Amino acid sequence: MSLQGHNPPPNTPSSDYSLSPRVSRRQPRTQMSTDRAANLNISHTVDLRALVYVGTVDQNLICAICRCALVDPVTTHCGHTFCQSCIDDALSHSQLCPVDRSWLSLADLKPSPRIIVNQLDDLKAKCPSCSIAYARSMLQNHLERYCKEALVFCAGKNTEQGCEETVKRRFSDKGCLHYTTECPDCQESLLMVELEDHREKLCDQRNRHCERCGAELLRCKESDHETECPDAIACCKWAEYGCEHEAKRRELPLHLDECSFKLVGPMAEILKKEINTLRSEVRTLTETNQLQERRIKFLENGFRDPYRPLDYSDFSDQTLSAIPEAGNPEPLSAGSEYLLSLLEAQESKMSQLSAAMTENEAKQTTLLFNETIPIKNELAEIRSMQQTTSMHVRWLLRFRLQDNHRRLGTGPGSNGGSDGATGGGSSNDSPLPRRLSDGLSRDIITKL
């Protein structure tokens, strides 16, 4: 990253370098930061094979080729699971399964079951930027939207400067930082966006020794060390309750054993917590009580039916005299009380409508159930009648065929094809008499 950048806005303090005069005149800084952050995200590609997982990954979720957690898993016909890219590369060299050496082709690959994909998505992995553990399926969204250490476009992209550089997301609300400045420790010239990392890791003068305890610390972290330095002067733990003792932080534990407030302090802390809890409960009860009192006063002022519209004839002299005067600490507002009564009426009507809808739904369900049962019974009866009719038709057809075979002499056991002892078989030449059942069966078949 070159040192040629944008100069800071003129007449702008160093502590407020993130604001330009144009931005400060148009909209608040918080609103501008939100608008910028919504348009500065960069699409990040996560290398799933380079992730560091939390804990041990199940061996069933490890690819046998790359020995990493499966990526786009596919399953073969022989029951083995590989990464899509790994098995494609392996089959380009040999048409054999890498595990059992059975014949395998691309057509034999199928997407793995959903349960395997869900297990892979639930694996905990560290973010490549901030090292915080997230589910593997959420890492890309985390990097693109929420990670404070991920790169985004510089906030100056949406300004007249049109800066095309990138910064970490935690700097995106500080305006464009790509201008030259000097390190306050070593006076080296560098970009403002690089100043923090330079002071913490690269600056030759980044370390110094504490004047009190002699510990080596970073110059940019002096304020944080002040709250932890063991030789810094600090007050007693129970100073807010009256103890005036001051000593080095490392000597305060010895004083706590002799402090005259060592018994009063813990009891005061407990009482303080209980008092805060009681105050919040009293505040809630007071608000509820005030609301109830207002409703009661409104109903006592002569409004018999709170559900009908307001009629000015309801305001009789007695009613007007019952309204509190302006000197009352809680004056009643007729308009507000009337709106409150309307709200209560609407709530009551809504409750009644809800109950009516529930009852109507139950009635409709019962009616539907009662109407469905007869229909089912009729359908069962129709099916039974259809089966009976079909059985009768088949019986009549079979009977008719047997009768025809007997008449023509072609049925089993007939001797119509051989010469009889009388010679000539004149008895077979005359047709058999027609029966009444023949016409009946023919009519039935025609109708069917």
pTM across the whole model: 0.43
137, two tokens: 């399926």
**pLDDT tens, position by position, for the chain (448 residues)?**
333 444 444 333 333 333 333 333 334 433 444 444 446 788 888 899 899 999 899 999 999 999 999 999 999 988 899 999 999 999 999 899 999 999 998 888 999 999 999 999 999 999 999 999 999 999 988 998 889 888 888 888 878 778 888 888 888 888 888 888 888 888 888 888 888 888 888 888 888 888 888 888 888 888 787 888 888 888 888 888 888 888 888 888 888 888 888 888 888 888 889 999 999 999 999 888 888 888 787 777 754 444 444 444 444 444 444 444 443 444 445 556 667 777 777 888 888 888 888 888 888 888 888 888 888 888 888 988 999 999 999 999 998 898 888 888 755 544 444 444 344 444 444 444 444 445 554 555 454 4
Identify the pLDDT of residue 335.
54
Contact 311, 303 (CB under 8 A): no
Torsion angle defined by CA atoms of residues 316, 321, 325 and 331, in that order, rounded to the nearest 10 degrees: -50
CB neighbours of residue 192 within 10 Å? 23
CA distance 175 to 29: 10
355, two tokens: 């109950």
396, two tokens: 């009549």
Architecture of the domain made up of 48-145: 2-Layer Sandwich (3.30)
Say yes or no: do domains 48-145 and 179-231 share a fold. yes
For every residue of 137-169, DSSP letters joined together read GGHHHHHHHT-TTSEEE-GGGGSTT----EEEG
Identify the pLDDT of residue 302.
54
Identify the pLDDT of residue 337.
65
Identify the pLDDT of residue 354.
86
Identify the pLDDT of residue 83.
94
Amino acid at 63: C
Identify the pLDDT of residue 219.
80
Domain range annotation of the chain: 48-145, 179-231, 266-332
The two counts, helices (H) then strands (E), for the chain are: 13, 13
Contact 82, 64 (CB under 8 A): yes
24, two tokens: 């400060």
Which CATH topology does 179-231 take?
A: Herpes Virus-1 (3.30.40)
CA distance 130 to 170: 11
Contact 295, 340 (CB under 8 A): yes
CB neighbours of residue 116 within 10 Å? 16
CA distance 33 to 18: 10
CA distance 403 to 397: 10
Pairing mode, strands 151-153 and 180-182: unpaired
